[in-house]
């Protein structure tokens, strides 16, 4: 017997990692980079007992999402010119 919340969770994860029903690398890549960064920062804090500067890490994670969005925008513009 399946868990009643399983279908809802599956739909939530599908919407989380896709846009308009299509896979979105910018979202998934940003999520994976964020999870790695959280683990890395936690390790550094546990070892040194000090919080490192997070500005460059934040820019890196945001750039993954920004580059993905820029690529999608260019594709939409080029598709619009072809029609």
pLDDT, tens digit (0-9, with 9 covering 90-100), for 38-58: 999 999 999 999 999 999 888
Counted domains in the chain: 1
Q: For residues 71 and 50, what is the distance between their CA atoms, to the nearest angstrom? A: 37
Is 1 within the bounds of a domain? no
How does the average pLDDT of the chain come out, rounded?
81
Is 52 within the bounds of a domain? yes
Q: Which domain holds residue 41?
A: 25-82
Q: For residues 11 and 46, what is the distance between their CA atoms, to the nearest angstrom? A: 36
Is 7 within the bounds of a domain? no
Number of helices and strands in the chain (H, E): 3, 2
Is 45 within the bounds of a domain? yes
Is 32 within the bounds of a domain? yes
Strands of the chain (E only): list them: 18-19, 22-23
Is 18 within the bounds of a domain? no
Is 10 within the bounds of a domain? no
Query: How high is the pLDDT of residue 38?
Result: 92
């Amino acid at each position: 017997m399946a868990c009643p919340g399983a279908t809802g969770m599956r739909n939530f994860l599908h919407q989380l990692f896709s846009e308009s029903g299509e896979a979105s690398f910018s979202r998934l890549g940003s999520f994976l980079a964020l999870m790695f960064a959280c683990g890395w920062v936690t390790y550094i804090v546990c070892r040194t007992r000090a919080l490192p500067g997070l500005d460059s890490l934040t820019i890196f994670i945001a750039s993954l999402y920004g580059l993905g969005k820029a690529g999608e925008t260019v594709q939409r513009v080029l598709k619009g010119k072809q029609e």
